Structure 1
Amino acid sequence: MFLFSVLMFFVFACVGAWLLLFPAGRDLMTQSASAIGRRLEQRLRRDCQQGTRQASALGRGARGGAGSAWRFVQRRYPLILAASVLMTVPPLLALMLSGRDMLGGYDGVGHVTNDQVADLLKGEQLVAPAPLPPTTFTTAEVTLVRPMLDSANRNWQLLDPDFSQRMLLVFRIMKERHGYDMAILEGYRSPERQNSLAAAGSSVTNAKAFQSYHQFGLAADCAFLRDGKLVISEKDPWAMRGYRLYGEVAESVGLTWGGRWTMMDFGHTELRVPGTVRK
């Protein structure tokens, strides 16, 4: 019905534009209306010949009134046509759109992703996990993938409180629902460190100081723990499955996942706040 109403509106608009822009169209409509008027007048005359003088007078008066009305319509028909379209089509469209079938997937009730998100919205304050030993981040496997990770900051207290709670919720869901233990690799990042990483090349980052949400405590890089060791490599099928789940969970709590970027960063998530990052 919606498509039909849109089609009818398009037809009316085309006819209106044709009448307004092309004199030939107006002449055709005028001639057709005049022919119809003449036929009606002839029929009225035949019918009125059998009536009384009073009926004939009334008939002549009616024809005179109809003629006056018709002449008014002929002089003002573009305006009348446009007004008719504007007055009839929008209510018809509104009537069509008001049907329940147009929003069949919406029942007017807000939904949250799961019970844990609902708990967060109710004000539950999650607690940051205990820090891991520094040697966890300096193994040969980790250094091969993230060579500058030993100087990264992993203090949860330096993160934005809202972002921190969302990240802790992601960690909980990943553990309880998917069996993945997670660890933060880097959270807050100073402007000096951001410039140092940018100087290392585009394979590390393209963002300079204050062009990253890390400088505002609104971003974090994370990885998985397996048997007490960090697993960052994207070549590990278990880790890649975790990254996909991690992206889904992060997006479900309103975070942006780096795995959808052109230069994919599977462990990165951020809470985007308009006007925060410098262009």
Structure 2
Amino acid sequence: MIDQNRRAILTAGAAAAATTAAPQVFAQSPQAAVQGLPAGAKTGFYEKGSVRIRYAEIGTGFPLLATPGGGLNSRIANWPTAVINVMEEFKNDFRVIIMDQRNASSGVSTGPLAIDDPWGAFADDQLGVMDHLGIHRFFFFGNCIGGPFAMKLMERAPQRIAAALLSQPVGHRPEKPDYMYDSGRDVWAKELRERRPDVSMETIEKYLHNLYRVRPDFVYSVTRDFAKSCQTPMLVLPDDVVAHPLQVSIDIASLAPNAEITVFPWKDPPELKARTINRARNFLKRHVPA
């Protein structure tokens, strides 16, 4: 009997082969095959060496790369329950591209644990998907862990990010300094080792250390000095839970010279949430390159 992991690998491999044969042509995926995708979404794979990333896209217009929350389990299937379902909210305005992040549980994307530069590796994956699609400049929407993703992308490729939305960004909370580290170790790492028993806990702990403890301040992925120098237009949608400190959102908006911030709280009542989403949409439309 083929075990579940082997079956998933074989199925993914077949999809990758089809994509490789025609890299710019996307086959319509059955909804059961990729949980969370709306009708009309198309899927594909980007591969580089030992890295393999599943992505999907829907809509037309200026490209918008979006990553959902879920910490290290940021994946396509998270969108239907996200605070803003980007595919549904923005598909009529932009070409929305989404992806399973590398090694997210229940996702399909895989790759080595980039211990020496974990935030940079995520940025490389994201830029690699856009290169694969022939897209140079794009918007970025990052929810939750997408806040650190956004800041690292703007540091690594400032000329490519036309504007960014940072929704409920993850950041350091001094009174609970190891909250993100502990979550990665107790939840994500356990699920990863079930799929990849060859990865030791020692390796995982080094990886989590370099994600969350090397720079125990702000958004983890970049310094405050970088934020002060970042010229990319951005709109911050704040939150205030343990993983998404309100102060981090305020700091981003205060430090970055071209950053704006919405009201807080903004998720309720529904009318305010709708106005906030519309502000985000108009913010991006205002920054579509000529």
TM-score range, shorter chain: under 0.3
If each structure's strand is expressed as a fraction of its own residues, which one has the higher value?
2
Q: Which has the larger radius of gyration?
A: 1
